[in-house]
Structure 1
């Protein structure tokens, strides 16, 4: 894992991936269907996807540069305005004088959500030369952006001493298709959810974790209300529960989880504590629309320390309880 240290370079994390502007409809009485008006009790319009992760890392006082394609369209402008209002670093935005529309209408049900989305224009990745200049401690790529270049970029970054994290985000293919195996074997850490794991491997739960662990040194499985599990090569499986919370909207929960995980890595914490931090970020995200309820650093530290105190109590011997 990463050891905590002072840095002369501008960023702890370089995040690469697209924004989306989410129109979130929640509290639906039924699933949307043809020929019917379905009314929602809740609604919000906010930027999401990698915006959520970048904002979460910013709230956690983590120096983050977000490499993101933006355009001259309405949704790019709304996202950029929101990022500037939040005080986020936008200096790595790739501003194009054409549409870079990324918009989703999300219908959020009790335990999951679906999307109708539109994506215009191309995505890019930071060049190896830029990573060499920026020298972040962590490179986090969310999505299969420029997938043919990903394995080589990860290999270059790792040779520079940069820790590489990858989240496939909504993959619709099997593990043996295209160059996914090459990408996974070039990363340090692979994060994904139960649904994505099942699609990739044809297995579920810990069986899927075992398959993926043959390729990536550290695999982290996000399991929603069941918490999360990880497989660290040579050290076995670690599983942690999620707190019970009132679920308003699950949009952005996985993106928030990733931010908490990377934050824990940067602190040099144990894997158990890192996983707890990630789960707390993901769990907080579902208590409002689109990750608006993300914890700041002080709040997250209180939650994680609370878990440690509980863990200490549960592991005391009866004779120690004075």
Structure 2
């Protein structure tokens, strides 16, 4: 494949999921035995049980990488998505929503069981989200479903750590990395959650050591899990020496990034009230990548990320509900 000029800014591979979001109390979290503030994988029966226990809910297309693309698409960034849905009602909802956002999505639907994935999200009064994910059809994304020409046409391949867990999409993502690197493109990776690193940290560390990852997104907890260092500065410095671009978010303490020896930081954007932290990391990545794809300075990329994250935690749901171009023009 040639190293011709890219026709897409970002192509992402991730879980194709419909988010089901409901408010709950701290007592509800305890009674259901949920991992407060974390993400837990559940089977189909577990998803049905939790769905029945939910109060009034909002259903919106989600999935970490797809959420990031939804933010990027609003920021004048040309995007494409690869992910597996089933030929069912939720699959149709997901496909409609992502295409309506202006994102290319052409992965063939799967006719066999299991159904399209869904994430049941319980939001406590402090805005913290507790996610319980049934991956469904998403965990059966085969390498054969990849459009390799499409992957090679994007400047950045963005991969979701959550999808590294199932074997079939893990093989697909490894193939996508090979295709992207052969085309001279960058590979971005989001660690997604510490439990994913617990299970696949050796894979991630090997890819970092081999120079496969060009841009890495982690939060404080993931950084500690990945490096084995409880001290943020020690872990960040060690990892920054191995990754061309490292971005570490720190919730209310803002974010830090390094790029080829340069370091920058940004404070968290003020928010009148935190409603729902679902998608905060996804939208931070969207804001950052929207600047990075256009060659903006590191600190400005971080600022974009902070603005995007602040917008999404001010309402329910993991995707922007504001004119993001106008918001960036106002805040930058």
User: Normalising by the residue count of structure 2, what TM-score does the alignment of the two structures yield?
Assistant: 0.78
User: C-alpha deviations, 1:162-194, integer Å up to 9, x for none?
Assistant: 122111212423498432123223011100112
* 1:288 CA drift (Å): 0.8
Aligned length: 296
Aligned counterparts, 1:2-41, within 5 A: 10-26=7-23, 28-34=25-31
1:228 touches 1:275 (CA, 8 Å); kept in 2? yes
The equivalent of 2:42 in structure 1 is none
The equivalent of 2:252 in structure 1 is 225
The equivalent of 1:312 in structure 2 is none
1:273 touches 1:304 (CA, 8 Å); kept in 2? no
The equivalent of 2:243 in structure 1 is 216
Out of 76, 101, 110, which is 2:91 matched to?
A: 76
User: C-alpha deviations, 1:82-111, integer Å up to 9, x for none?
Assistant: 234x34334333311123421111112325
The equivalent of 2:45 in structure 1 is none
1:154 touches 1:164 (CA, 8 Å); kept in 2? yes
The equivalent of 1:194 in structure 2 is 220
1:155 touches 1:186 (CA, 8 Å); kept in 2? no
2:8 touches 2:153 (CA, 8 Å); kept in 1? yes
Unaligned runs of 5+ in 1: 1-6, 306-322
1:61 touches 1:297 (CA, 8 Å); kept in 2? no
Distance 1:283 1:41 in 2: 26
Distance 1:176 1:107 in 2: 26
* 1:152 CA drift (Å): 6.1
Unaligned runs of 5+ in 2: 34-49
Matching of residue 165 in structure 1 with residue 191 in structure 2 = no
The equivalent of 1:102 in structure 2 is 117
The equivalent of 1:117 in structure 2 is 133
Per mean C-alpha deviation after superposition, the further-off stretch among 195-204 and 161-170 is 195-204
1:26 touches 1:248 (CA, 8 Å); kept in 2? no
Distance 2:175 2:54 in 1: 45
Distance 1:82 1:135 in 2: 23
The equivalent of 1:52 in structure 2 is 67
Distance 2:298 2:56 in 1: 37
* 1:154 CA drift (Å): 3.1
Q: Structure 1 residues 56 and 34, CA, compared in 2 at 3 Å: closer, same or farther?
A: same
Q: Structure 1 residues 88 and 139, CA, compared in 2 at 3 Å: closer, same or farther?
A: same
Output the aligned Cα RMSD: 3.1
Q: What's the secondary structure of 1:269's corresponding residue?
A: coil
User: Normalising by the residue count of structure 1, what TM-score does the alignment of the two structures yield?
Assistant: 0.80
* 1:123 CA drift (Å): 2.6
Q: Which protein is richer in helix relative to its size?
A: 2
Q: Structure 1 residues 215 and 111, CA, compared in 2 at 3 Å: closer, same or farther?
A: farther
2:201 touches 2:226 (CA, 8 Å); kept in 1? no
Q: What's the secondary structure of 1:284's corresponding residue?
A: helix
1:277 touches 1:300 (CA, 8 Å); kept in 2? no
2:82 touches 2:146 (CA, 8 Å); kept in 1? no
1:128 touches 1:157 (CA, 8 Å); kept in 2? no
Distance 1:212 1:201 in 2: 7
Tell which structure's C-alpha radius of gyration is larger: 1
